[in-house]
Structure 1
Amino acid sequence: FSTARYGQWGARCLSMLPADVDPNQWRWKFGIDVQQEEQWTLIHRAQKIERSRAEELVKTWKEEFKEVKTTELSLVRSAQLYLAGKEFIEEYGWTFVGVKCQFELIDNFVSPCLPISLWNDEGIVASCESDMNAALTMFALYGFSHQPSMFADVSDIDFDEGVVRFLNCGTAATDLAGGKDKVCLTECPSFQATSDPKTGKSNCQGGACTHFIMEPGRVTLARFGRIKGEYVLYACGGEAVRYGHHDPEAILGAGELWPWAYVRPDEPIEDFVSHLRAHHTCVARGDWTDHLKKLAELLDVRVLD
């Protein structure tokens, strides 16, 4: 932690206060440096990536993924953003990153979903929606597991079956599905962007989202957060399960567009709800709760119980 540098394109996303942090607090609490750049710097660099380089990468993706249901332009721009971001990260020496996305990227160039997914596959921990506390959690989990975790919304809870529905708007790493050959690439839905006030038409410029449902197995649910300025950690084991009520039409059809996971936490659902520090929670393969609690002890961070 103490030598890490977090880089972020864009500021706070959609007024998500639990996702934002005080960079000075990160510096003295965790030893992490924070550097922010405008999203337009990433867009401009992506636009300068030669189309031939991007098309070569797109060709590879079409061979690797289970199915591709996106426009060619979305794939090309995703490739340009992916390559530009990697150059940026190396040049600036960033250890892990965050991307705002909504709305500058998605309205003016392409959604960053596929680039974020692939960066995480390659060990570049990346969160979307500028969620710095999620990025911190993902970074810690990667340090233990050397595997990506799923940055996800708590979108629904089945209290009768004790199952939580997690979804991600397209950025989940393909490793979580077992590889690219088990993942479909789908087109970013237009409702993710703003609309023209005069015509009502979406400003969405497209993008490629990963789509899969996480296979059953042991998982860890985790998130660093704050209570009245004090850092706390939520960490709980759970079981990813096959859920018989998955609805492909859920959330305007996102049930067949985005990555999903159905998890039965080890703790009672009421406790899970009371421990939520934000609408985002990280889901990682394997049980890393003891590792996270040891890290929290070293960092003098209270573990929620």
Structure 2
Amino acid sequence: MARIGVLSVSDGRDHVHARNADFVRRKQSELVASLRSAGHEVLEVAEPLSSGPEATGAARRVAAAGADLTVLYYAVWAFPRFTMLAAGELDTPLALVASTDPTEPGLVGMLAAGGALDQVGRGHHRLWGEPGDAELAADIGALATAASAVAGLRGCTFGRFGGRPMGMNTAVANTDQWQRLFGVDVEEIDQYELVLRARHAEQGEVDTAREWLERHAGAVHYDGDKLTPELLERQIRSYLAVREIIAERGLDFSGIKAQPELTENFATMDVTEALLNDPYDWNGPKRPHVCATEADMDGALTMKLFGHVSGTPVLFADVRHYHPERDLWDLCNSGQHATWFAARSDDPAVNLAKVELFPEVFFFPAGGASVRHVAAPGTMTLGRLTRSDGNYRMQLVLGEFVEPDAETTEELMRLSTPEWPHAFARLDVTAETFLSRFGANHIHAVPGDHRAELRAVAEQLDIELEEWTRG
């Protein structure tokens, strides 16, 4: 959850403020309690702002405390200049929130303050409602979560292992643009570093990891050729090598090119990427590390944002096929569907029971295990950051992962690549619109409806939002 600063703005006339102060405090307390009940950390300025020095001083304290979003609350008529002074000390997004109690002109105070901010070009959001209203708290929470996600990018480092994969333009972004728009640095790492370090992984841990996968996975289909215990261990060693590099270089998220150098001469990165994106490994729970296959930079950036707003791992997939007779999309890619998506359980054994490790297919002569499972059903938010004429946009759609019966599932997987992971989805957009407009072959998804937060992310980043529905 996010950190929200709350300041109430009041009247600058001493006798009016004295009359209103208790009313304002009571309304603010209700709002703060509602936000805390929703799980947010609230940095509350207890006394309403009724002078210029109070406004600047309180705003500076909130800024120093590291708020993600600042709420300026209007329960009564408030002098707009106090809002302007406070806003001048704040670099967080602003939410102007008005009480709708008809006994006092809170809406008037918000509109006067909002108009003043408009005149100087200071962006802000406006919300209104009763302070204890759960819907109002949810709207404020969405803005705060978005602000936390955007702020969380600044100062991050993306580790790019390898370069552009297979001539894929959409996998490569302008590092200057990333620094300017998102505050993200890019650390270039040769894939050979991964190979070298994998050789020196500690054998005892490698054995533990292989045995853990063999014990918990639904099946490990060793074939003596493309998938052997030695090749699976090489993939585990790669995971340990990447983890070591992440720690040494302070990488916040990453991507691995893999194709064709590693997939033809070493091993695929499917196991490595799946485990990095999972919230666990054989050592127990861990924080997911966003890692995009094919070193997809905008894909990884999307996943970083999606993961922040959802608090879950993020799916990465190709838009593989559309079955018009079923209105069903097959989202499938050789790399890194996190195994968590198989059942979305907190218990890795529950997820891994639905996962099978298959020998890699002919695309990848170096071999290794492909991490096959079908994503569990449920509501999903899907989309991606893409670029049009050099400008970023957020393309967004609500959908649902579905789980056909076992026979249909096997039939659908056989029609594409049965050894790879699949998510079967229905999207709230026509195939004609989606295929005509979507700006990449890779798509990303998180459980639940997080469109409100992602709309706010787009607004706060000042990038275009392209959201689709069938309506």
Give the structure-2-normalised TM-score.
0.60
Q: Name the amino acid aligned to 1:177.
A: A
Q: Name the amino acid aligned to 1:231.
A: Y
Q: What SS does the corresponding residue of 2:353 show, helix, strand or coil?
A: helix
Q: What SS does the corresponding residue of 2:412 show, helix, strand or coil?
A: coil
5+ long unaligned stretches in structure 1: 194-203
What's the offset of the Cα at 1:274? 2.7
Match of 1:38 among 170, 182, 190: 190
| Residue aligning to 2:206 | 54
Pairing 1:6-155 to 2, within 5 Å after superposition: 6-70=158-222, 71-122=228-279, 123-155=288-320
Distance 1:302 1:248 in 2: 35
Q: Name the amino acid aligned to 1:104.
A: E
Distance 1:224 1:230 in 2: 10
Q: Percent identity?
A: 32
What's the offset of the Cα at 1:271? 2.0
Distance 1:222 1:151 in 2: 10
| Residue aligning to 1:198 | none
Would you say the 8 A contact 2:158–2:187 is kept in 1?
Answer: yes
Distance 2:430 2:366 in 1: 42
Q: Name the amino acid aligned to 1:81.
A: S
Q: What is the CA deviation profile of residues 28-66 of structure 1, one whole-angstrom value per residue up to 9, with x for unaligned ones?
A: 010011111110111111112133331221112211212
| Residue aligning to 1:234 | 395
Would you say the 8 A contact 2:254–2:290 is kept in 1?
Answer: yes
Match of 1:290 among 427, 452, 467: 452
Q: What SS does the corresponding residue of 2:264 show, helix, strand or coil?
A: helix
| Residue aligning to 1:158 | 323
Say how many residue pairs are matched.
Answer: 291
Q: Which has the higher contact order (CA 8 A, sep 6+)?
A: 1
| Residue aligning to 2:436 | 274
Aligned: 1:211 with 2:382: no
Q: What SS does the corresponding residue of 2:429 show, helix, strand or coil?
A: coil
What's the offset of the Cα at 1:126? 0.6
Greater shift, 148-157 or 112-121, is seen at: 148-157
Match of 2:363 among 178, 192, 196: 192
Distance 1:116 1:275 in 2: 28
Q: What SS does the corresponding residue of 1:42 show, helix, strand or coil?
A: helix
Distance 1:259 1:10 in 2: 24
Would you say the 8 A contact 2:161–2:189 is kept in 1?
Answer: yes
Q: Over aligned residue pairs, what C-alpha RMSD do you find?
A: 1.4
Q: Name the amino acid aligned to 1:221.
A: L
Would you say the 8 A contact 1:185–1:211 is kept in 2?
Answer: yes
Distance 1:289 1:184 in 2: 32
Q: Name the amino acid aligned to 2:354.
A: K
Distance 2:327 2:209 in 1: 42
Pairing 1:160-175 to 2, within 5 Å after superposition: 160-175=325-340
| Residue aligning to 1:197 | none
Greater shift, 135-144 or 153-162, is seen at: 153-162
Distance 1:212 1:205 in 2: 22
Distance 1:149 1:41 in 2: 26
Would you say the 8 A contact 2:413–2:422 is kept in 1?
Answer: no
Bigger-Rg structure (1/2) = 2
What's the offset of the Cα at 1:266? 1.2
Greater shift, 53-62 or 225-234, is seen at: 53-62
